Amino acid sequence: MPKVIAMAGKGGTGKTTISALLINYMLHNNLTPVLAVDADANANLNELLELEVNLTLGEIRRDLKGDIPAHITRDQFMEMKVHQALIEAKGYDLLVMGQPDGPGCYCAANQHLAMTMDKLADNYRYILVDNEAGMEHLSRMNLRSIDLLLVVSDPSARGILTAKRISELTKPLKIEIKEKFLIVNRAPDPLPEALSDKIKETTENTDLPLAGILSSSDQLIEQELSGKSYLNLTEDAAIIQQAYEIFSKIIK
């Protein structure tokens, strides 16, 4: 079974940025093959990887509610369409969930999707899920356990508190979470003492230890504005060195 790494955190904290940096790290360290799943309704992980999306799983689920070709079953149709939606790259593939479900019941479509994801998962060493603020997609994909949950926060007292609450909200999920860590993203350098105290207070009094802090990076901003892949960032980039140091402590 592949190891599952999932992102969590409120909108705008940089979960997608962390996901792209993590793919960079995994490719550099031959932790492949990786299946990256963009489960944010506002999907943009593909943009940070310079990949084009032509078909999403949301579109496939909607198609599955309608008529399908007579010569195949719905399971076969779902499997065929998921493989068409799979964006293949060197060392990793990308699937985009797309927009959330519209009116009507998608229970059967989600069941077919879960069965297909079960088969697909066996082809990968890691599955990386870039979640939206909620975590409903994890259930749709039939993920029964998460090896590593990374809760991403912005550098504010409110952001740290929200990360703590999100961590607590994962407990009622019918998903086993083996390890979870906090990553504080876009932090000023040097870190203000008050923010440092808030992070320490939160991580010491909860089951959410600190994995590390990523500084605000002009290099990432320039990379995004130019439309260049985060995978092109090399080891000598300061933000890559920071990210690699964090990931090396938590990816086993």
Cis peptide before 33 (omega within 30 of 0): yes
The pTM for the full model equals 0.92
pLDDT at residue number 133:
65
Inter-residue contact 39 to 132 (CB < 8 Å): yes
CB count, 10 Å around CB of 153? 27
Q: Where are the domains of the chain?
A: 3-250
pLDDT at residue number 34:
98
Residue 116 pairs with which residues in a beta bridge? none
pLDDT at residue number 101:
61
Nearest to 68 by CA among 54, 79, 55, 83: 79
In the chain, which stretches have pLDDT less than 70?
100-110, 112, 133-143
HSE value, Cβ hemisphere, 13 Å, CA-based, for 209 = 7
pLDDT at residue number 200:
93
Alpha carbon separation from 173 to 138, 144, 168, 169 (Å, rounded):
10, 10, 10, 8
The CATH superfamily of 3-250 is P-loop containing nucleotide triphosphate hydrolases (3.40.50.300)
